[in-house]
Structure 1
Amino acid sequence: MHGKVAIVTGAGQGVGQGIARALATEGVDVAVLGRTASKLESTCVQLRDKGVKAEPFICDVTATDEVPRIVAAVVDAFGGLDIVVNNAYHGRLGPLLSLDDDGFQQGFRSGPFATFTFMKACHPHLAARGGGSIVNLVTSAMMRWDQSNYGAYAAAKAAVQSLTRTAAAEWGRDGIRVNCIAPLALSPALKGWSEANPEEAEEFLRTVPLGYIGDCERDIGRAVVMLVGEDARYLTGATVPLDGGQARF
């Protein structure tokens, strides 16, 4: 995969950083997108240590008017684009009746609205290289046995999954594959919640057949490497659960 170029949103920490690190291990140059400059630069240092080119781009994915400009800047800096990972997300949790309209819509702005804008802006650049791969992040909360408190999150991610299926159907002729992953990973947010709620965290862990929460790089990032590589060349429009068997997809 040496010489390929990837955009990873929300790559300053957690799952996005793990995916970026895994791609860099395979020689992929990475445009590191996110909102916090210091976190982006920290990720870039880690990637450069692996011998690849990595550059930070300040980006709030909800500012969709800016997305085409940022994508163009990435292509200008790296000379092309082959892989897009739509990881960034910021939304509200809680019972439906606790959410005002803005709180409910927040996840849609950073989820399907941002994902659509990035996919559309990246399409011509991927097609110009003869095709490429897009990976969108969804969640097992869409399939959760009890969706209480996850309604807005699950709804936004279900829309991302639907967009993924449509793009896969429409863009296959351009050589572009589009898939989803539904990760369960030890992100900073989940780690913080687990430490603050040890009894609940222990009960939650018992619902994961493999018995542990996934590592952002080894369990999630490496799976993305597989998805965007030649070994998965015939896979598109799929949702791959990376949750240790927790959810029934």
Structure 2
Amino acid sequence: MVMLEGRTAIVTGSGQGVGRGIALALAKAGAKIALAGRTVEKLDAVAREIAAAGGEARAFACNVKDAASIEALVADVVAAFGGVDILVNNAQEVALGTILSVSDTDFEASFDSGPLAALRLMRLCHPHLKASGRGVVINLTTSATRRWDMAGFGHYGAVKRATESLTRAAAAEWGEDNIRVLAVAPHADSPGLKWWIEHNPEEAAAFFKTIPLRRIGRCEEDIGAAVAALCGPAFGYVTGAVIPLDGGQANFA
């Protein structure tokens, strides 16, 4: 499968979990991968996985909460690969807890690493995505934004709703530039979800029963493969949407 051959993708937070799964799937679809994150050792390990499978990837150290680091990332990727065709905004610090328990500092970190980082990266990548003629932005959100009971998820849902609003706006503004902008809302067996399951076993058991497919998605085979498909020509008329990749758990209608 080489539907993305000749294209370059930046994937933030790609050293583990969902980001790694997306990077592996995009590489298998033929894209060259710029692996971005704070822990270069993890990125290097993923780069070796991609190379062993016949793909091409390079690791780029980046702290998405730092504007200068983001600017350097885009400049370095363009210098290394010649452009950017796909941007995946996956990296995100998550503040979970009640309204009274989450600190301003943790909430600000969630905002800085989420919608603000995505906005900065989208702006910097825009000229390269436009030059591509087939640019795609994938922003990650969460089905937690659709929970009927938002107790403990208010801060997380707030920053992800902001990301969804930016996604919709960019899709509307950049469509004439042949740039598609989408959000995906995955449930995946990531380190973050595994941590939540371990620390909230009763809530997790009840949660699993609300998933019609009765399982958590696999980072590469379920989430990554779907993202790769969305970046390809078969979905070339889809933009501005939030795509649920959650086994049918949330009501996105």
TM-score of the two chains, using structure 2 as the length reference: 0.95
SS at match of 2:217: coil
1: CA distance between counterparts of 2:130 and 2:78? Answer: 13
C-alpha deviations, 1:65-112, integer Å up to 9, x for none?
A: 321221011011011211000000003110011122212221110111
C-alpha deviations, 1:174-233, integer Å up to 9, x for none?
A: 100000000010001222333455443322211101000000011100110111100000
Change (3 A) 1:197 1:143: closer
More divergent stretch after superposition (72-81 vs 190-199): 190-199
Match of 1:144 in 2: 147
Q: Does 1:92 align with 2:95?
A: yes
| 2:193 aligned to which of 190, 211, 215 | 190
Match of 1:67 in 2: 70
| 1:106 aligned to which of 73, 98, 109 | 109
SS at match of 1:172: helix
SS at match of 2:42: helix
SS at match of 1:97: coil
- Paired amino acid for 1:4: R
2: CA distance between counterparts of 1:5 and 1:114? Answer: 20
Residue ranges of structure 1 left out of the alignment (5+ in a row): none
Q: Does 1:211 align with 2:209?
A: no
State the Cα distance separating 1:130 from its structure 2 match: 1.7
State the Cα distance separating 1:114 from its structure 2 match: 0.2
Match of 1:170 in 2: 173
Match of 1:43 in 2: 46
- Paired amino acid for 1:224: V
Q: Does 1:237 align with 2:240?
A: yes
2: CA distance between counterparts of 1:145 and 1:57? Answer: 39
- Paired amino acid for 1:73: D
2: CA distance between counterparts of 1:157 and 1:236? Answer: 18
2: CA distance between counterparts of 1:219 and 1:72? Answer: 31
- Paired amino acid for 2:219: C
| 1:134 aligned to which of 137, 142, 148 | 137
| 1:159 aligned to which of 138, 159, 162 | 162
Match of 1:224 in 2: 227
- Paired amino acid for 1:181: V
2: CA distance between counterparts of 1:239 and 1:135? Answer: 10
2: CA distance between counterparts of 1:66 and 1:54? Answer: 19
Residue ranges of structure 2 left out of the alignment (5+ in a row): none
Match of 1:17 in 2: 20
Match of 1:30 in 2: 33
Q: Does 1:7 align with 2:10?
A: yes
Paired residues of 1:27 and 1:51 also in contact (CA < 8 A): no
Match of 2:182 in 1: 179
SS at match of 1:116: helix
4+ runs deviating over 3 angstroms: 195-200
SS at match of 1:149: coil
Query: How many residues were matched structurally?
Result: 249
| 2:79 aligned to which of 76, 80, 83 | 76
1: CA distance between counterparts of 2:13 and 2:125? Answer: 17
